[in-house]
Structure 1
Amino acid sequence: MMNASSPRSARRADLLAAGAATVTVVLWASAFVSIRSAGAAYAPGALALGRLLSGAVALGLLWAVRREGLPPRTAWRGIAISGVLWFGFYMVALNWAEQQVDAGTAALVVNIGPILIALLSARLLGDAMPPRLLTGMAVSFAGAVAVGLSMSGGGGASVLGVVLCVLAAAAYSFGVVAQKPALAAASALQVTTFGCLVGAVACLPFAGQLVHDAAGAPLPATLNMLYLGVFPTALAFTTWAYALARTTASRMGATTYAVPALVVLMSWLFLHEVPGPLTLGGGLLCLAGVAVSRSRPRAASLRRGAAAEGPAPRPRPERERA
């Protein structure tokens, strides 16, 4: 019974982690539309602070209901680093960058993030970099390049905007790598709740700008800011942490290459922006690369199947067969 139940539990855990990762990329893809709307009325720092405050409130209520308590002391280093770099600096830099460059250029440059995550996690966490992961990331990055080029407006990029995108990608990468060890000591909800709170505290210098912008912002922009806090931040970062705790940082980073493809699909469905051949092809490449990077070699699958069936029966001696 133990041999049968353990693989079944492992498969269930894999499915839950895959489902959590799917929720994350779908909500992060939806964030692009909301950022574009809210960013017209809110300054970059104010938008980041408003998003983090609403996310921290939602997470704090859930954390209090579940009574998870404070994270262990060993997790705080990773929580603090990811909170400042990923929740704080990344969001401000990305909001600011999207005011300087077109959406295609921003998406293209920020998509160096998963590559940086793979390199950093291999160096700092000892993660393996199997050929399938590298091949999948290369395919997905090619797709992201195609999507970015198809979305880019002529001459819309600025040096400042490109630099901000690079800084945002670097902050995102270091934040993910710092978060991974924290998840070995604390729960996904604890790491996300206090990481979001740290990011909100880091963005408090923008409080005056937030109050000023909120006073004159139209209701749809404010609602989009609240949506960003509750769903792409509170929910999506929690499901991300849940999945990250159950796989490697480099594999999770590769999963985010599905975001450009989903942005193309959502723009087609909800904004009636029909994608051109280059955009559509790039989105399909992104999804194909994610599938390759998350697949396992056939030999590994056969080993897992053999483990599920239990040890093979020992052959009986000739006398017993007779």
Structure 2
Amino acid sequence: MKLDKTLLALATTVLLWATAFPAIRVALDGYGPSQLSFLRLAVASLALGAAAPSLGVRRPARTDLWRIALAGGAGMSAYQLLLNWGEIHVPAGTASLIVAAVPAMSAVLAAGFLGERLTPAKTGGSLVALAGAALIAVSGKESGYTAAAWAVLAAACSQAVYHLTVKPLLRRYTGFEVATYAMWAGTALLAPLAPSAFRAALGAPAGATAAVVFLGILPSAAGFAVWGYAVARLSVTAATAALYLVPAVTLAASYLWLGERPRPVAILGGLITIAGLILLNKRRSPVNHIPAPSPSPAIPPRHHS
């Protein structure tokens, strides 16, 4: 039953984060990247704050504040700013193909900072996945597209840092608490953008504003909350592996919602990335080696949108 709930949480995260990419394109019709970043996080913070009392959200320990600030700064503030700016030029489906490299980045960071084992297969898979994302980034003929694609890749790196940062927090707090802390921290860091964002809201099209509300409540508030539930019960690598399904869902949603068709080279780069992620998560059968100690049930060793 626990596994079923975990898989359901992963599936929900994939669906919510996949639909965020086309929703961002809609919201950008009425808001600038920085304005959208603040408003999305502000809506999410309000939604999480409304649910916090009934879900018993505790005050975090002072010793964890620096980690919460890092999670909010990387996974919320920086990720939103970079992704929103990138999607001005990069189609939603293509952006999702670049962000698909997050599991590879997360695996490398987890090996370096959390001591998770990085096998030859994981190393090779990570390199292949990153090569696919880089191929998409350099494939644009227009300078604006290329720069924006690199910004999206930087956003993916920011999200990988978030996954790494929250893992220790999930030993002491619930997934909902961690998502709430990080969202509030990210919103606070972007508070200087509030006046510009509120002015933009006065004249923005109704569809763009509806997209902002959708992004704040579902992909942000609900998405990060259910993601925290899943990653607390799986290793970082295993949990983020589910995210390579996001591009497929995003491509379908972007076609139906926006009529977008990605470039062939973007599809090729995405396939290379996904192939690398499959290699990254390939399990090697144990042969004459001493098994690693079993992790605790609450948090095995080890990334959505």
Which TM class, normalised by the smaller chain length?
0.7 to 0.9
1:156 Cα deviation after fit: 5.9
2:44 equivalent in structure 1: 55
Percent identity of equivalent pairs = 33
2:56 equivalent in structure 1: 67
1:54 Cα deviation after fit: 0.7
Gaps spanning 5+ residues in structure 1: where? 1-11, 301-322
2:6 equivalent in structure 1: 17
In the alignment, which of 173, 176, 191 is matched to residue 178 of structure 2? 191
Q: Secondary structure of 1:94's match? A: helix
2:167 equivalent in structure 1: 180
Tell me, in whole angstroms, the C-alpha distance in 1 between the residues paired with 2:261 and 2:91.
18
Q: Between Structure 1 and Structure 2, which shows a larger proportion of helix residues?
A: 1
2:291 equivalent in structure 1: none
Change (3 A) 1:159 1:206: same
Change (3 A) 1:15 1:297: farther
How does 1:1-322 map onto structure 2 within 5 Å? 12-103=1-92, 106-130=95-119, 133=122, 148=136, 154-155=141-142, 157-158=144-145, 160-271=147-258, 296=283
Name the TM-score, length of structure 1 as normaliser. 0.76
Tell me, in whole angstroms, the C-alpha distance in 1 between the residues paired with 2:154 and 2:37.
16
**Is contact 2:123-2:280 (8 Å) kept?**
yes
Q: Which has the larger radius of gyration?
A: 1
- Greater shift after overlay, 45-54 or 70-79? 70-79
Name the TM-score, length of structure 2 as normaliser. 0.80
Tell me, in whole angstroms, the C-alpha distance in 2 between the residues paired with 1:270 and 1:98.
15
Gaps spanning 5+ residues in structure 2: where? 288-305
**Is contact 1:46-1:206 (8 Å) kept?**
yes
Tell me, in whole angstroms, the C-alpha distance in 2 between the residues paired with 1:159 and 1:284.
19
- Greater shift after overlay, 110-119 or 89-98? 110-119
Tell me, in whole angstroms, the C-alpha distance in 1 between the residues paired with 2:170 and 2:253.
31
Tell me, in whole angstroms, the C-alpha distance in 2 between the residues paired with 1:104 and 1:28.
12
Change (3 A) 1:265 1:141: farther
